């Protein structure tokens, strides 16, 4: 057993920030405010730094297996560690897609060999795999593509959706864009090479129709449902009726970029759902502040710059974000737009509770010691060539931010620091999910440690 003390940190607890010492033993938080005389194998002086729970990114596309020229679980988890992300939940649209228990287990096995941080993998829904969805017991949930996918991962027929919501028990999340609307808009704009038309093809109506459809299914079947990457303020009224079954998230590109940025950034901000307007940026930000939206994620989905530079519409949708997500939000803390407690809620505590991830998301005795030291004085400019993601670019290239992670700990083990770099000998662990905890609305006191 090893014991580490983080001394003199400004510790970000769920209910405030205060100077404290955090004692970590054998991968878990043993005590907080553990006095100055605590004996330890290692004492880390954190004066001038904040100690946060590790970020949990609940929506990433890490491309392995099948698309590893874009990213793989080694490069992606390095990017996570450098960005303060200690756990990720990865989507099923790899090649082959993870639509069976066997397919999910294959990804678990790869991650066990390659990932520096903790991991979990969704199982993907198809029109006819309910038996597999019910056989998957130790996954975060089910992912449905209601639009924006091809082959058997596209599930937009009402009969199939009804069956999934009625006959399964795992929490469900979905990409909500109405396929009929998208295809009609694409036909109307056929032949376009204007990147700004991407937001006309994948417009506000496509998002609203699909989100309304999915949230209605969730409420009618009383089935927990998480709306991924809300992109427009027009979706917000669908999320505010107080239902205990619905939660939602935004991704950073939908609050940092809008259609006015296409001339400057082009396909670097081509995403599904598409970037919307400045008014939508503001509406989504306010929805975070007032609690209508609970989670921030990235939808990290890298493509090579060669692929992204193809003329629209041959250019693929997706962008890398995991290694800059926390810094982007810390910069907003420094500029007074939110508090560091709110950031910890949106990026650490809320995703743990939405997906019932045991022992994660807070700094409390008994929780796992997934921790991030951050320096709110540190200033750095994001540069393509310094990115750890395999594609080596960022849509925020050239942005100077104040507030950065300086060391990341997984299970009490330092996997990365500004000074020492990466510990290539360490591997993260498969996340534990206990869906009997009941999700976000039933865990206001936190998801809790392992029993």
Q: Helix or strand or coil: residue 1?
A: coil
pLDDT at 417: 98
Share above pLDDT 70 across residues of the chain, in percent, rounded to a whole number: 98
pLDDT at 368: 98
Q: Which residues pair with 118 in a beta bridge?
A: 87
In a domain, 272, yes or no: yes
CATH number of 97's domain: 3.20.20.140
Reference 272, options 188, 185, 177, 189; nearest CA is: 177
Reported as a pLDDT band with limits 50, 70 and 90, residue 2 is confident
User: Average pLDDT of 418-435?
Assistant: 97
pLDDT at 110: 98
In a domain, 381, yes or no: no
| Alpha helices, DSSP H, located in 225-370 | 253-256, 262-265, 278-290, 305-308, 325-334, 340-344, 350-354
pLDDT at 240: 87
In a domain, 229, yes or no: yes
At residue 372, what are phi and psi to the nearest 5 degrees? -135, 125
**C-beta contacts of 101-104 below 8 A and 24+ residues apart:** 101/132, 101/135, 101/136, 104/136, 104/139
Contact 81, 116 (CB under 8 A): yes
* pLDDT, the chain, mean: 96
pLDDT at 148: 67
The tokens describing 88, both together, are 């990720």
Q: Which structural domain range is residue 91 located in?
A: 55-359
**pLDDT digits over 342-398, tens only?**
999 999 999 999 999 999 999 999 999 999 999 999 999 999 999 999 999 999 999
In a domain, 195, yes or no: yes
Number of domains in the chain: 1
> Which residue's entry shows tokens 């954190």?
46
Q: Report the alpha-carbon angle 268-272-275, nearest 5.
A: 60
CA torsion angle 329 334 338 342 (round to 10): 60
In a domain, 335, yes or no: yes
At residue 243, what are phi and psi to the nearest 5 degrees? -65, 135
In a domain, 185, yes or no: yes
pLDDT at 243: 77
Distance from C-alpha of 431 to C-alpha of 88, rounded to nearest angstrom = 9
**pLDDT digits over 226-279, tens only?**
999 999 999 999 998 777 999 999 999 999 999 999 999 999 999 999 999 999
pLDDT at 151: 66
Distance from C-alpha of 315 to C-alpha of 363, rounded to nearest angstrom = 42
User: Average pLDDT of 129-137?
Assistant: 97
Residue 283: DSSP 8-state: H
In a domain, 154, yes or no: yes
In a domain, 431, yes or no: no
Reference 298, options 248, 347, 261; nearest CA is: 347
CA torsion angle 172 175 181 185 (round to 10): -170
Reported as a pLDDT band with limits 50, 70 and 90, residue 154 is confident
**pLDDT digits over 99-113, tens only?**
999 999 999 999 999
């Amino acid at each position: 057993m090893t014991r580490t003390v983080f001394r003199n940190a400004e510790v970000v607890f769920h209910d405030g920030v205060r100077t404290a010492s955090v004692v970590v033993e054998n991968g878990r938080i043993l005590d907080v405010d553990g006095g100055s005389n605590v004996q330890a194998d290692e004492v880390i002086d954190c004066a001038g730094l904040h100690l946060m729970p590790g970020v949990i990114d609940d929506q990433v596309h890490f491309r392995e297996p099948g698309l590893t020229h874009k990213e793989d679980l080694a490069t992606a988890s390095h990017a996570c560690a450098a960005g303060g992300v200690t756990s990720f939940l990865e989507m099923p649209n790899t090649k082959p897609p993870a639509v069976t228990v066997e397919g999910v287990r294959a990804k678990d096995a790869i991650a066990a060999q390659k990932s520096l941080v903790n991991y979990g993998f969704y199982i993907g829904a198809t029109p006819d795999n309910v038996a597999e969805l019910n056989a998957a017991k130790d996954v975060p949930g089910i992912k449905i593509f209601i639009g924006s996918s091809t082959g058997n991962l596209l599930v937009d027929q009402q009969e199939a959706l009804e069956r999934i919501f009625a006959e399964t028990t795992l929490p469900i999340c979905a990409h909500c864009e109405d396929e009929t609307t998208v295809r009609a808009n694409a036909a109307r704009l056929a032949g376009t090479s204007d990147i700004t038309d991407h937001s006309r093809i994948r417009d506000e109506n496509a998002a609203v129709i699909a989100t309304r459809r999915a949230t209605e299914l969730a409420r009618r079947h009383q089935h927990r449902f998480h709306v991924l990457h809300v992109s427009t303020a027009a979706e917000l009224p669908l999320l505010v009726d107080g239902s205990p079954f619905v939660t939602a998230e935004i991704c950073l590109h939908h609050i940092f970029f809008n259609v006015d940025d296409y001339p400057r950034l082009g396909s670097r901000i081509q995403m599904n759902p598409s970037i919307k307007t400045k008014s939508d940026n503001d509406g989504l930000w306010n929805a975070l502040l007032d609690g209508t939206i609970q989670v921030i994620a990235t939808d990290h989905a890298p493509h090579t710059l060669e692929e992204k530079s193809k003329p629209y519409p041959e250019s693929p949708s997706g962008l890398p974000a995991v290694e800059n997500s926390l810094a982007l939000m810390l910069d907003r803390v420094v500029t007074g737009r939110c508090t560091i407690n709110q950031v910890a809620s949106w990026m650490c505590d809320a995703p743990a509770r939405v997906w019932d991830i045991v022992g994660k998301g807070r700094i409390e005795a008994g929780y796992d010691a997934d921790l991030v030291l951050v320096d709110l004085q540190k200033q750095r400019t994001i540069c393509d060539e310094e990115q750890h993601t395999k594609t080596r670019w960022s849509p925020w290239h050239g942005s100077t931010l104040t507030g950065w992670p300086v060391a990341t700990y997984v299970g009490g083990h330092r996997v990365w620091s500004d000074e020492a770099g990466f510990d290539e000998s360490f591997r993260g662990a498969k996340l534990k999910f206990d869906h009997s905890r009941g999700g976000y609305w039933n865990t206001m006191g936190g998801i809790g440690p392992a029993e």
